[in-house]
Amino acid sequence: MSIVTGGQPAARRGLMLIRGFLSQNVAIGCSYGAFGVSLLALQERYSAGRGVISLGFSCVILGMGLLGPLIAASVNRFGLKWTMMTGAVLASCGYTVLALSSSTTAFLLAFAFLIGPGVALSGTLPVGLLVGGWYPEARGRAVGLATMPVLLSFMPMLGVLLIERLDLSGFYIILAALHFLMLPVLAGIHSAPPFPPAGQDGAKRGQAQSGKLLTSPVFWLMVLCGGVLNAVGITGVANMVALLIEQGRSPAEAGFLASLMGGSSVLGAFSVGWLCDRFGGGRALSFASAGFACGWLVLATMSGVFLMALSVFLIGVCGAGVFPAVNVLSTRIFGLERLAHVLGLFGLFTLPMTFILPPAAGLLHDITGSYRIMVGAIVLSCAIVAGCFFLLGRFERRAMQGAGD
């Protein structure tokens, strides 16, 4: 091809995007997609409550959040290839431990010290660095394409089938093998050639103003509301299959509906992105919050298959659009030069909510015997968050108007 960037042929850039897409989908699809569908089988194996088992998924979220700053250091010292290959090896070892273990302690340790770090080192953040580096002129579109959760949409249905045919241990052995097979793909990764650095002065200014950021009520409102939406999304991934089965759906039907939720997330990133361009990040997040509330309300009160499918589809669309919309909102309020700093602090300060709320939902189920209170809390909190983001949207619009004056 004649199209080049930085002296590199477009075909090579395309291969890097494909490698990143495969790594992202294996890392996220196996961790997020497989956990919900194996939740009940894990409870049976370990004779543990749903709150304890849900803690395993929270360990993945914890590892991804805490290792974020260390990933950049690893990439700078060892490169993207070795960083991502290390992540695939760790995750493969973690799923092997799950296949062989009969101890709740081993189960939690595998998620905390193997699968969680493995997902962090081979998932969204390093893939974003890889693909964004090769496509600096179209970073948003390229990263969005590479991080589309295609495998996540198929994993629930596939997981139900594999667990029925091979039992839980066989299922985890397949996940371990899938990560091992990723090693030749990741071995072909090359970091993008260096481009003229842009925005370094702006980054330094953003770091120098971190104190002002931490005293900004707008920032903390964004953290609180965005953290609620992220936690709701993760709670849904972890508990959706169990909730649907509790409502009388067969495992196959529950797996299909969970897969539908995952599939709709592919559409969500694009549709919420359109809302961001049309109405702004704050208004898009307000719409997403209202969609979450409506989806969960219908899911809890209606029993028809069509309405259930519509509700999980809506939940998936809204969940996938949270991060892109937060990205736009942060850029317009705090400025492009401070975006990396703002998003880094956003991820750090929302970690307590994303870590605590999923196992808290499982524990609440253990105490009450149903998901009704959990769903009610989700609907109420999302309705409140929708109003808060609507107000932030007005602040965002004033900030944009001030920047244009």
41-90 confidence digits (pLDDT tens) = 888 888 888 778 878 877 887 777 777 667 767 877 888 899 999 999 99
* pLDDT number for residue 203: 41
The packing angle between helices 251-279 and 281-301, to 10°, is 160
Tell me the residue type at 197: P
* pLDDT number for residue 200: 40
Its pTM surpasses 0.85: no
Residue 133: name the closest of 27, 23, 323, 5 by CA: 5
Of the listed ranges 43-47, 346-350, 391-395, the one predicted with least confidence: 346-350
* pLDDT number for residue 208: 39
Residue ranges of the domains in the chain? 7-192, 200-405
In this structure, CATH architecture of domain 200-405 = Up-down Bundle (1.20)
pLDDT at 403 over 70: no
Compute the distance between CA of residue 189 and CA of residue 32 in angstroms, rounded to an integer. 24
Q: Quick: pLDDT tens for 353-367.
A: 887 877 788 788 888
CATH homologous superfamily of 7-192 equals MFS general substrate transporter like domains (1.20.1250.20)
Per CATH, 7-192 and 200-405 having the same topology is answered yes
Compute the distance between CA of residue 9 and CA of residue 134 in angstroms, rounded to an integer. 11
Residue 62 and residue 350 in contact, taking contact as beta carbons nearer than 8 Å: no
Percent with pLDDT over 70 in the chain: 86
Once rounded to an integer, what is the mean pLDDT over residues 193-215? 52
* pLDDT number for residue 347: 75
Highest-scoring range by mean pLDDT, 60-64, 120-124, 255-259, 339-343: 120-124
130/16: higher pLDDT: 16
The distance in angstroms from the start CA to the end CA of the chain is 43
Q: If 0-12 CB within 10 Å is exposed, 13-18 middle and 19+ buried, where does residue 384 land? A: middle
Which residue has tokens 């920047």? 403
Q: Pull the structure tokens for residue 149.
A: 């959760």
Highest-scoring range by mean pLDDT, 195-199, 210-214, 346-350, 382-386: 382-386
Compute the distance between CA of residue 390 and CA of residue 284 in angstroms, rounded to an integer. 9
Mean pLDDT, the chain, integer: 81
Q: If 0-12 CB within 10 Å is exposed, 13-18 middle and 19+ buried, where does residue 301 land? A: exposed
Print burial letters for 34-67: b (CB count within 10 Å at least 16), e (below 16): bbbbbbbbbbebbebbbbbbbbbbbbbbbbbbbb
